[in-house]
Structure 1
Amino acid sequence: MGYGVKLVKIIEKHVELDFPLGHHLHCLIAQIPNRLRRRDHLFKLENAEEQWRMVQSVLDLVAAGDGNLKRLHFLMFPEISVPLSRFDEMLSTIEQRFRPNTVTMFGLEQITLEQYRALLIRFHADNAEALECVEHDVDSGDILAMPVNWCCVAIKESTGKVRVFLEAKTHPFRGEEFLDKDHDLYRGRHFYLFRGEPACFNFMTIICLDYLYRDLYSSNIKQIIDHSNRLFFTMRQSLDALFVIQCNPKPEHRSYREVLSGFYGEYLEDTPGVRETVTVFGNCSDESEIQGVRCAPCYGISFVAISAKHKMLPYQEREFSSDDFDGAPVCRLRFSSGTRLFYFNLPLHHELDPRSSRVPLKVHAVLRWAGEEWVKVGDGEGQASA
């Protein structure tokens, strides 16, 4: 199959994550601003040092573990939110200061395919299959100068070992497409499906529009559903969580509602592989700016979606609310648009506690940026008790 026809490959990776059995897991969305400018046909952070100070402040908070942050399992940063020059420092912080059984997902500044290929070679132990996909594409044409929108999933296993997995975005937004093919975004060829053991927790991380991508031959989300169904039918396991990191000016576009409806609706067939999946969309904040993109209001509104089989009544606070996303077959926890840290729990498997009085998603803390530090939003400002 040539480079022009692409089917995304789902690569399973076994990772040692000793999550607590029978207890819900915790996730922190860092909804921080992205200010991006095009330089040499690549989207770069306008002020990388200022951005790194904010990213580092979140890392320091997680490493300190104040409150119940010691129980954090998943940390999400937005797409294109970490300076490339700080990549090694980011990994070093995770290795030296984070607790075992922690998964950190973050997007970095765009690079060329040649640079991305070099990173896959550097982290070959965890990315051998992904490197094969890239080598196949490189062999098909002169494409090493193409831009790559990429992310890293850094997993600190129960043993303390840090594993580094890299993914490239499979589908561009309009600002990443050009008539000049050399400057068009490289289409990633793989997703990772992480099989956490011994806790038996399966999850994926993808970048923004990868969730929506479809063409005449296939769609990313259908492949994820089919793969998860095979997992269920052969091993009685399922996809527990799908994390979508974003830099999305239109987080509530109807296309997201439509795909979520198809993902959770089971309109034409049973989909037991994703029936209990928790989908987490982590966006950048409403202070973000992307050169060439104009809209109002823009960005923010990270949210969590679960099947409507869960019980969540409509609820409204200043910093978050719950709804059904305009009639979709989901329960949605919708966050506000400002620069915030949202700390919440992922729900337990629905069938374990079907009582209608049990709220499956709970917000443990909301923190706002106060110029130099993160401050917990207090009573009367939209904070819910843990």
Structure 2
Amino acid sequence: MPMVIDKKVQLSFPLGHHLHCLIAQLPNHLHREAGFHPVEQETQWEAIKSVLDLVAAGEGNLKKLHFLLFPESCLPVNRLDELLLVIEKGFRPNTVTMIGIEHVRLREYRRFLERFKADNQEAIELVDRDIDSGDVLEMPVNWCMVLVKESDGGLRVFLEAKSHPFHGEEFIDKYHDLYRGRHFYLLRSRPSCFNFMAIICLDYLYRDLYSSNIKQIIDHANQLFFTTRQGLDTLFVIQCNPKPEHQAYRDVVCGFYGEYLEDLPGVRETVTVFGNASDETTLEGTVQSQGFGHSYVVINRNHRLEKVQSREFATDDFSGAPVCRLRFGSATRLLYFNLPLHHEIDPRSSRVPLKVHTIMQRSSRGGWEKVPSSGYNGEDEAVTESNVQKE
């Protein structure tokens, strides 16, 4: 199983106030050739850049953004330096960006680790152990970056490789088979005491005879709770997933939140954010599926979200799971919401743990515009926030 590596980052979030997250549910157009690569790199970058520019401008409530989540494998690797420049020069301090990057060979991934070795020394040691044990340098790597712009304006860069392939990434031929990542980062914010992780898609599900990725994360979070009385606050899952509603995801969600056999205090109040690619996604060389999109947010059932059904989002319990879920639609959208504060329903505290602030769609001019709130709350007036919990 991958190792969970603790890293301290300097993030100063507002005390006692909820944090804000933006899921960029963008389309991926990928073709398969020693991994998956964007078909139209310029178009793909323009879509990503439009979101980055929107966040950098900070119009309206976006100045409060703390977490920005892009889909798996969406960034062309030759645009990486431009991405870093936009974030370093344009983003506000205390902002975290998580983005999946075009597949590269392990040889190239190792070079990126070396480039950012100040934040990835432990990962380098794990990768070097694999390189030393066999001829693996030409294996494709599905990877992501977690970019943390700290409170002093400095940029930290953390790299992770996916540990478990989907069927389109797994081959009998070892040279085409996906490299298995060896680590996850648990990023521990100071002075805010906010702990979060980002993993890639099927890493949420993977298991073998002896353990599972999610059990590894739970055990680490529990140990954190027992020693510091802190837990895992948010788990971000970066996806390009044609089957986000698969039974396997529900099973893991049930085990993560259910506490059926033992207390799991380290993850009891964890908010899990699944950020997927939109329904315009195509993966050449694989059987096409119409299931993309439907990013969602999962919280403990004690928050009790009201049942809501609209064109843009709905709330449910994931077919009877011990959770409350806010599930968005499948179209290309920017989904802006707050992460719930970590407490159960209490009449003395906030009545609304989860609030949708804004949903945006592509405009005819190529930018982004708000979806009229009548499109998702059934009202005529232009309200930009929609409560999704009973008073």
Question: Is the TM-score greater than 0.5?
Answer: yes
Say whether residues 1:366 and 2:333 are aligned partners: no
In structure 1, how many angstroms separate the alpha carbons of the residues matched to 2:246 and 2:58?
Answer: 35
Contact 1:30 1:58 in 2 (8 A): yes
2:376 aligned residue (370, 375, 382): 382
2:332 matched to which residue of 1?
Answer: 339
In structure 2, how many angstroms separate the alpha carbons of the residues matched to 1:198 and 1:352?
Answer: 26
Give 3-state SS (helix, strand or coil) of 2:195's partner. strand
In structure 1, how many angstroms separate the alpha carbons of the residues matched to 2:116 and 2:166?
Answer: 28
1:3 matched to which residue of 2?
Answer: none
In structure 1, how many angstroms separate the alpha carbons of the residues matched to 2:350 and 2:229?
Answer: 28
Give 3-state SS (helix, strand or coil) of 2:303's partner. coil
In structure 2, how many angstroms separate the alpha carbons of the residues matched to 1:324 and 1:139?
Answer: 46
C-alpha root-mean-square deviation of aligned residues, in Å? 1.3
Q: Are residues 19 and 356 of structure 1, via their aligned partners in 2, closer, same or farther at CA, if it must alter by over 3 Å?
A: closer
2:3 matched to which residue of 1?
Answer: 9
2:113 matched to which residue of 1?
Answer: 120
My pick for the range that moved more, 286-295 or 93-102, is 286-295
- Alignment map for 1:78-157 (pairs within 5 Å): 78-157=71-150
2:30 matched to which residue of 1?
Answer: 36
1:4 matched to which residue of 2?
Answer: none
2:52 matched to which residue of 1?
Answer: 59
2:314 matched to which residue of 1?
Answer: 321
Contact 1:311 1:360 in 2 (8 A): no
1:270 matched to which residue of 2?
Answer: 263
- Alignment map for 1:294-333 (pairs within 5 Å): 294-333=287-326
Give 3-state SS (helix, strand or coil) of 2:120's partner. helix
2:235 aligned residue (219, 230, 242): 242
Give 3-state SS (helix, strand or coil) of 2:376's partner. coil
Give 3-state SS (helix, strand or coil) of 1:33's partner. coil
* Shift in Å, 1:123: 0.4
- Alignment map for 1:110-259 (pairs within 5 Å): 110-259=103-252
My pick for the range that moved more, 344-353 or 273-282, is 344-353
**Deviations along 1:213-241, whole A, 9 cap, x unmatched?**
00112100000000000000110000000
2:388 matched to which residue of 1?
Answer: none
Contact 1:28 1:74 in 2 (8 A): yes
Say whether residues 1:20 and 2:14 are aligned partners: yes
Give 3-state SS (helix, strand or coil) of 2:119's partner. helix
In structure 2, how many angstroms separate the alpha carbons of the residues matched to 1:141 and 1:83?
Answer: 28
Contact 2:345 2:351 in 1 (8 A): no
In structure 1, how many angstroms separate the alpha carbons of the residues matched to 2:75 and 2:346?
Answer: 39
My pick for the range that moved more, 184-193 or 372-381, is 372-381
**Deviations along 1:188-218, whole A, 9 cap, x unmatched?**
0000000001000000000000000001121
Contact 1:285 1:300 in 2 (8 A): yes
Structure 1: 4+ residue segments shifted above 6 A: none
* Shift in Å, 1:354: 5.8
In structure 2, how many angstroms separate the alpha carbons of the residues matched to 1:97 and 1:357?
Answer: 33
In structure 2, how many angstroms separate the alpha carbons of the residues matched to 1:34 and 1:346?
Answer: 26
Contact 1:311 1:358 in 2 (8 A): no
Runs (5+) with no aligned partner, structure 1: 1-6
**Deviations along 1:262-303, whole A, 9 cap, x unmatched?**
000000000000000000000000000011333442200000
**Deviations along 1:167-202, whole A, 9 cap, x unmatched?**
000000000011101110000000000000100000
Q: Are residues 226 and 286 of structure 1, via their aligned partners in 2, closer, same or farther at CA, if it must alter by over 3 Å?
A: same
* Shift in Å, 1:359: 2.4
* Shift in Å, 1:64: 0.3
Percent identity of equivalent pairs: 65
In structure 1, how many angstroms separate the alpha carbons of the residues matched to 2:301 and 2:291?
Answer: 27
My pick for the range that moved more, 102-111 or 285-294, is 285-294
In structure 2, how many angstroms separate the alpha carbons of the residues matched to 1:207 and 1:355?
Answer: 38
In structure 2, how many angstroms separate the alpha carbons of the residues matched to 1:189 and 1:247?
Answer: 21
* Shift in Å, 1:318: 1.1
Give 3-state SS (helix, strand or coil) of 2:278's partner. coil
* Shift in Å, 1:311: 1.8
Give 3-state SS (helix, strand or coil) of 2:160's partner. strand
In structure 2, how many angstroms separate the alpha carbons of the residues matched to 1:251 and 1:349?
Answer: 25
Partner amino acid, structure 2, of 1:237: Q
My pick for the range that moved more, 291-300 or 195-204, is 291-300
